[in-house]
Amino acid sequence: MQPNDLARLLAETPFSWQRPVPEGLVLTDIQWRADACNQGSILFFQCFEDGLSDDEIYRRYLSGRRFAALVTNRPLACFARLEESRIYVTRPDDWAEVVRRFCDLVYPLDPRVRFIGVTGTNGKTTTVNYLSAILRARGLRILTIGTLGVWRDGKRVAETGFTSPPLIELRRILYAEQERIDLVVMEASSHALDQGRIAGIRFQDAGWTNFGLDHLDYHGDEERYFAAKSRILDHIAPGGRLYCARPEVVQRLDALGRNPEITRVLLKPLNLPPEALAAKPFLALPHNRTNYALALALAGRELGFDPLAGEILAQRDDWRSLEPVPGRFECYGRDDRRFLIDFAHTPDALESILTAIRTAFPQHRLAVLFGCGGDRDRSKRPLMGAIAAGYADLIVLTSDNPRFEDPEQIIAEIQAGIAEHPDCQRIVDRAAAIAALFDRLAARPFSEPWVALIAGKGHEPYIDQNGVKRPYSDREEVERHLNRLGWAA
């Protein structure tokens, strides 16, 4: 990139509105966070329908920041207060394309690098990790981007805090890593697809795990949530396929009529040999077998087989390369006191994991500890309460990233779906709730085996409350109490 390239691209880009440009200003870089800017930065600031007033946006993000130019996707009332910055507003629906052009200039993509995307309500992280393991076992250099952060060849590179990072951050990561990788496997969240965070990325193939209730606080209703997910079809290269694990997804996509030229492939259930289930116990879970089947189908182009051309996925032994995914059905303890940590935080995910537990531990009584995140879809709270009540002998309701909501109120909304339950306890502090759960089970006779699900946070090493992420880990709490009580395996 040459010194005047950013200024030239600004001048060439058609905007709906702009403020007269001062002469002689040197532009040095592009940013998506105001606190990362310097006096030569172009700040690309995307506004959302999140209830924040223009004044709040100014006070929270822009006041006192230094940047040379501001690009937004709509006019802001605070523009008059940004006296020293040149300002541009994109035309309607042009935001992602404008940001993509600047990313192409500053962080150009190596055309040699290939991409595979995975969307769905649940199972994205597991599918991405399985696919990465399968391909790395065959010698490919893989970069994964998703809920667990950025990993190159199975080693963590960075933590982004997003399932799908904003486009400038994504391109910065790809530009830094592309000389050391062959293929990128990435999660594509509904937010990312709706906000244009993966603009310019073309997947050779993509996968769709499932679809359930989530993120209605952002999308408004299920129809718009599904429509946002369906935009993954816009990112699949000609000749690519969308592999789907659920028939209802294929049916709904066909009814929607979006990009019919992209082939939708419905995968059949995958039956694994007893040897695989013995070696990889997590594959005994139906949803993990589905995730493995999806990962294996997505690996076909790279490994030289076509899942539609007579190759039987169940005959392959790629399962040998798989490992458990952090925070997904992690099992601790001993036979009479089992503790499972899982990221399940939607109604579908919670029901799926509880069904699997009842199948895997038919002789055990079942305890469930969980909460729901604040400032997120409130409609799922009573639904998750009702699901827990249908399976659990003991329920402990607690906090799970309350953010700026009252955790007591969140718990009350969960409990509204539980109605009458013989043993439902409320403990707001999550660490105290886990301690109480262990003490409750310690008081029971060991002739009465128990399995406890601690759901919602999985791998996350923090509690997000009132704008602060304080260190906290379900995994550390469970290990501490297992050692305290002498229950470690």
**Considering the chain, what percentage of its residues have pLDDT values greater than 70?**
97
Same domain, 192 and 301: yes
Average pLDDT over residues 236-258: 94
Long-range CB pairs of 275-283 (<8 Å, 24+ gap) are 276/317, 276/319, 279/319, 279/320, 280/319, 280/322, 281/331, 282/322, 282/324, 282/328, 282/329, 283/319, 283/322
Considering the domain architecture, whether residues 169 and 274 belong to the same structural domain is answered as: yes
CATH number, residue 396: 3.90.190.20
What are the tens digits of pLDDT across the range 429-477?
Answer: 999 999 999 999 999 999 999 999 999 999 899 999 998 999 999 999 9
Of the pLDDT bands very low, low, confident and very high (cuts 50, 70, 90), residue 49 is confident
pTM, full prediction: 0.87
Q: What is the mean pLDDT of the chain?
A: 92
- Boundary residue ending a domain (265, 295, 321): 321
CATH of the domain at 155: 3.40.1190.10
- Do 293 and 336 reside in the same domain of the chain? no
**Average pLDDT for 25-46:** 94
β-bridge pairing 149-152 and 263-266: unpaired
- Co-location of 101 and 116 in the same domain: no
Say if residue 163 is in the same domain as residue 288: yes
The reply to whether 377 and 272 lie within a common domain is no
Task: Kindly state whether residues 286 and 155 are assigned to the same domain.
Answer: yes
| Range list of H helices, 304-406 | 347-360, 380-391
pLDDT at res. 428:
97
Residue range 341-397, pLDDT digits in tens: 999 998 988 998 999 899 888 999 999 999 999 988 899 999 999 999 999 999 999
pLDDT at 10 over 80: yes
Predicted local distance difference test score (pLDDT) of residue 219: 67
Same domain, 67 and 205: no
Same domain, 122 and 163: yes
Range from 60-69, 206-215, 287-296, 424-433 carrying the lowest mean pLDDT = 206-215
pLDDT at 170 over 70: yes
Q: Which of 321, 353, 370 is the last residue of a domain?
A: 321
Predicted local confidence at residue 212, as pLDDT: 79
CA–CA gap between residue 96 and residue 194 (Å, rounded): 10
Domain that holds residue 151: 109-321
The last residue of one of the domains, among 105, 135, 160, is 105
Q: What would the pLDDT profile of 57-90 be if each residue is shown by its tens digit? A: 999 999 989 999 999 999 999 998 998 889 999 9
Same domain, 139 and 24: no
Of 331, 387, 386, whose CA–CA distance to 364 is shortest? Answer: 331
Are 342 and 458 in contact, with CB atoms under 8 Å apart?
A: yes
Query: How many domains does the chain fold into?
Result: 3
State whether 177 and 275 are in the same domain.
Answer: yes
Over range 261-270, report the average pLDDT. Answer: 91
Q: Are residues 130 and 247 in the same domain?
A: yes
pLDDT of the residue at 409 = 97
Checking if the pLDDT of 309 tops 60, the result is no
